A = this chain, B = another copy of it.
């Protein structure tokens, strides 16, 4: 039976795994450090793929996940953050030439969404909205059992929907995006700004202050820390309301580190979502839950993409 090789290129690690059909567990799995600032990144990537290649088996295709922006239709990496060796890099084509098999590329958030739909929290749902809330905010959307990619492969960039015109500065350089309110760095930036303005907190003014440290302070009752997560949750509710009105999913799945803080974020999110959804039917039977696949979502999504495009899986 044809094997799929899945590749997940992250900022700190590159991973590869080989899968047979019908088994969620890999035959082989390998992980190495990305070492983005050291030359030879592509050669290291070839090495980790070769490590999981099962001799004597037919490989039907390679699925690849990477941070965007990228072009899934051509397999081109455009400008993955913190990985300058791969800027404007024809990764799909180069891997196809080297290994002699078809390759399929998409961004990490789309693939995490696809993985949750195929193997995780979204199994059985046909309209899936996946949101990762982490260093950035990213989206992956499955509509009618199909991954939404868009004309340029840039659909579902849901961290960059506008929730507050002329609002907070986003990491992308534009203003008022959801990511500028609900991502980890946005939460930190808000707290630092408030401390600078004289708001009292157990937290110290430290440029490296993390959303995790703020969560710990919130659990200990620090009012500023609590307010920072409430604000992130409120904007997340506004953003998800717009997404429900746009996509009308049957499940919303939250991944990413920030979404693991639980009630701290989701109490205000739930109030905000219910306040902003304009028709109660959107919420009928809607499941709101957290991702199930953890660190494996990237690999399983890359695998699911290849199987989908090759017609091995039904979707």
Instruction: Name A residues whose Cβ lies closer than 8 Å to a Cβ of B.
Output: 69, 78, 126-127, 143-144, 146, 148-158, 160-165, 170, 172-174, 177, 235, 238, 241-243, 245-250, 276, 278-279, 281-282, 284-286
Query: CA separation between A126 and B69, bound complex, in Å?
Result: 21
Nearest B residue to A152, CB-CB: B281
Residues of the B chain whose Cβ atoms lie less than 8 Å from the Cβ of A281: 69, 78, 152, 154
CB-contact partner of A174 in B161, B278, B282, under 8 A:
B278
Question: What is the bound-complex CA distance between A281 and B247, given in angstroms?
Answer: 22
Chain B proximity of A70: nearest CB distance (Å): 10
Set B161, B173, B249, B279: member contacting A242, Cβ < 8 A: B161
Is there an interface contact between A250 and B172, defined as CB atoms closer than 8 Å? no
- Which residue among A127, A151, A279 has the maximum number of chain B CB atoms within 10 Å of its CB? A151
B248 and A155 within 8 A (CB): yes
Q: B residues within 8 A CB of A78?
A: 281
Closest 4 CB pairs of A and B: A150-B248, A155-B248, A151-B250, A161-B242
A102: min CB distance to chain B, Å? 19
- Given A144-B146, A146-B146, A163-B165: A151 in contact with B242 (beta carbons within 8 A): no
Q: Given contacts A150-B127, A165-B163, A278-B177, is CB(A246)–CB(B144) below 8 Å?
A: no
Q: Which residues of B contact A152 (CB under 8 A)?
A: 248, 281-282, 284
| Cα distance, A126 to B248, chains bound together (Å) | 20
14 intermolecular pairs with C-beta atoms under 8 Å apart? A143-B148, A151-B248, A151-B249, A153-B248, A154-B248, A154-B279, A155-B248, A160-B278, A161-B246, A162-B242, A164-B164, A170-B278, A174-B276, A174-B278
A174 to B192, CA, bound (A): 33
Chain B CB count within 10 A is highest, among A238, A243, A248, A250, for A248
Which residues of B sit under 8 angstroms from A235, Cβ to Cβ? 165
Smallest CB gap from A234: residue in B:
B165
> Are B278 and A165 in contact, with the CB atoms below 8 A?
no
Known: A151-B248, A158-B246, A162-B238. 10 other contacts (CB 8 A): A143-B146, A143-B155, A146-B146, A150-B248, A151-B285, A152-B248, A155-B246, A157-B245, A157-B279, A163-B165
Contacts of A164 in B (CB 8 A): 164-165
Known A143-B143, A276-B174; contact A241-B153, beta-carbon cutoff 8 A:
no
